[in-house]
């Protein structure tokens, strides 16, 4: 990593419940959280924003949210994000099949029309040499109302921020999901 994490005891007391929750949920404190926490107000803001997207009240299914986060992470070369988000996707799908084929989703038969529309939209937003076309937007609108489109666009933008942050700071994977799929 390009910036070192500090010992947990050196972070402000009010961030420790976040770290405790990560340890409970993932079995370890996540390095990106420790890096963001070097600037506590940024950490708190990012944590709140993440929580707004990762909710049961979302019109986006958990699998769809995970497909987006993994694909955006792949494009942005975020090894940590691919690791943890692939782990989550595999748990939500019940298998590693979609994880393994996500980078080549256009050629795969595993993805339905809704997933294809969302992945195409996510790629158009994420690749800097592309723009969203009217056709891509219309394909998305076949499945979602305006509020859901705003949410999916926000999720894609958030994952771009997160994965670019982690990639730029060279935050490594933490062993959640091996390439062979043995660890989920």
The pLDDT mean for the chain works out to 94
Beta carbons of 172 and 1 less than 8 angstroms apart: yes
pLDDT of 86 = 96
- How far apart, in whole angstroms, are the C-alpha atoms of residue 18 and residue 13? 10
- How far apart, in whole angstroms, are the C-alpha atoms of residue 184 and residue 170? 23
Single pTM value for the model: 0.94
Q: Calculate helix-pair angle for 113-126, 134-141, nearest 10 degrees.
A: 140
- How far apart, in whole angstroms, are the C-alpha atoms of residue 153 and residue 162? 14
Q: Residue 84: which of 59, 108, 72, 16 has the closest Cα?
A: 72
- For the stretch 99-110, pLDDT in tens is 999 999 999 999
Cα R_g (the chain), whole angstroms = 17
- For the stretch 114-128, pLDDT in tens is 999 999 999 999 999
pLDDT of 182 = 37
- In degrees, rounded to 5, the angle at the alpha carbon of residue 34 between the alpha carbons of residues 31 and 36 is 110
CA distances 113 to 64, 146, 170, Å, are 12, 18, 34
- Band of the pLDDT at 179, cuts 50, 70, 90? low
- For the stretch 45-101, pLDDT in tens is 999 999 999 888 899 999 999 999 999 999 999 999 999 999 999 999 999 999 999
- How far apart, in whole angstroms, are the C-alpha atoms of residue 88 and residue 85? 5
């Amino acid at each position: 990593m390009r910036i070192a994490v500090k010992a947990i005891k050196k972070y402000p007391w009010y961030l420790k419940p976040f770290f405790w929750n990560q340890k409970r949920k993932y079995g370890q404190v996540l390095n990106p959280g420790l890096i963001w926490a070097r600037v506590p107000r940024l950490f708190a803001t990012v944590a709140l924003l993440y929580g707004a997207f990762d909710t049961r009240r979302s019109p986006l299914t958990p699998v769809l949210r995970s497909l987006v986060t993994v694909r955006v992470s792949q494009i942005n070369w975020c090894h940590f994000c691919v690791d943890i988000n692939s782990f989550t996707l595999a748990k939500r799908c019940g298998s590693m099949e979609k994880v393994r084929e996500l980078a080549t989703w256009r050629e795969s038969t595993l993805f339905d029309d809704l997933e294809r529309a969302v992945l195409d939209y996510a790629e158009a937003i994420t690749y800097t040499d592309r723009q969203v076309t009217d056709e891509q937007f219309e394909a998305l609108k076949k499945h979602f109302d305006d509020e859901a489109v705003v949410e999916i666009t926000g999720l894609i933008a958030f994952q771009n921020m997160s994965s670019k942050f982690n990639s730029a700071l060279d935050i490594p994977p933490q062993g959640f999901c091996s390439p062979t799929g043995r660890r989920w």
